[in-house]
Amino acid sequence: MNEIKEIAMRIKELREICEFSEEEVASRLGITTECYKSYEASGEDIPINVIYQLSKMYKVDFSEILTGVSAKLKTYQVVRGGNGQKADRYPGYEFKDLAYHFANEIMQPFLVTLDPSDKKADLVSHRGEEFNLVLKGTVVVTFGDQEIVLEEGDSIYFNPNYPHGQRCGGDKPATFLTMIAE
C-alpha cells in the first residue's frame, strides 16, 4: 500500500477513535465536508498544514500521522543537511520534516524544495502563523491577489488564514524553510 493511502487510513482511524463525524472535522479545519471526505478516501492532495492541524486536533505527533510511528524526543533533535522525514504532498513540492522525532512540538519546521513550473501556486489557507525563509533560488509567494518575490535570504511571516501559496520563481529549483505554528 502506498504512503499516501496509509495517511488517509490513519486520519480516518483517528477520527473514528475520537468519535468525530466527518462534518465536525471538516468544520474544525474550515473546509467542506466533501473535501475532507476525499482526504480520508485517498489521501490525495491533502495539504501538509491540514495534516498538522489534524495532529493538533487529535493530540498526536505530526510524524505519527505521516509515518505511523510516534515521536519520542523531548530535549533536542539534530537533522543533518540533506536529511529529514520526506512528506511529499504535491507534485513539484518536496517537503522534509525537520522535527520528526520531537514530541509535542508547538511549531512544525519543513524544508521545502520547489521545482520550476509555469503553473500558478495552488492556494491554501489554515489556522495559526507561518514563516518562510528562502535559502536558495527565488520563491514567489502568492498572498491573496498579490505576488511577492522573495530571493535568497528574504523571509515572510504571515497570517495563513488568508489564501496563500508558493511557487518557484526561476528556472532552477528553489528551497525555503517554512515553520507553521498553531
pLDDT at 1 over 80: no
Look at phi and psi of residue 114 and say left if phi exceeds 0, alpha if psi is from -120 to 50, else beta: beta
pLDDT of residue 115: 93
Tens of pLDDT along 67-101? 777 777 666 767 777 777 776 566 677 778 887 77
pTM: 0.70
CATH superfamily of this structure's domain 3-67: lambda repressor-like DNA-binding domains (1.10.260.40)
pLDDT at 122 over 90: no
DSSP symbol at 19: T
pLDDT of residue 27: 93
pLDDT over 90 for what percent of the chain?
Answer: 41
Q: Which three cell numbers stand for residue 80?
A: 543533518
E runs forming strands in the chain: 85-86, 93-97, 107-114, 129-136, 139-143, 146-150, 155-158, 164-168, 174-181
Query: What is the C-alpha separation between 80 and 78, in angstroms, rounded?
Result: 6
pLDDT of residue 84: 79
Mean pLDDT of 169-179: 94
Which of these, 78, 127, 83, 82, lies nearest to 102 by C-alpha position?
A: 78
pLDDT over 70 for what percent of the chain?
Answer: 93
| Domain 85-181 class in CATH | mainly beta
Q: Give the residue, 77 or 157, on which the prediction is more confident.
A: 157
pLDDT of residue 135: 96
Q: Of all helices (H) and strands (E), which one includes residue 5?
A: helix 3-17
Query: What is the C-alpha separation between 169 and 86, in angstroms, rounded?
Result: 23
pLDDT of residue 88: 59
Confidence at 21, pLDDT banded by 50, 70, 90? very high
Tens of pLDDT along 26-46? 999 888 999 999 999 987 778
pLDDT of residue 91: 65
Mean pLDDT of 157-171: 92
Q: Which of 63-77, 91-105, 129-143 is most confident? A: 129-143
pLDDT of residue 87: 67
Mean pLDDT of 45-57: 84
* Phi/psi of residue 174, nearest 5 degrees: -115, 145
Return the domain boundaries, the chain.
Answer: 3-67, 85-181
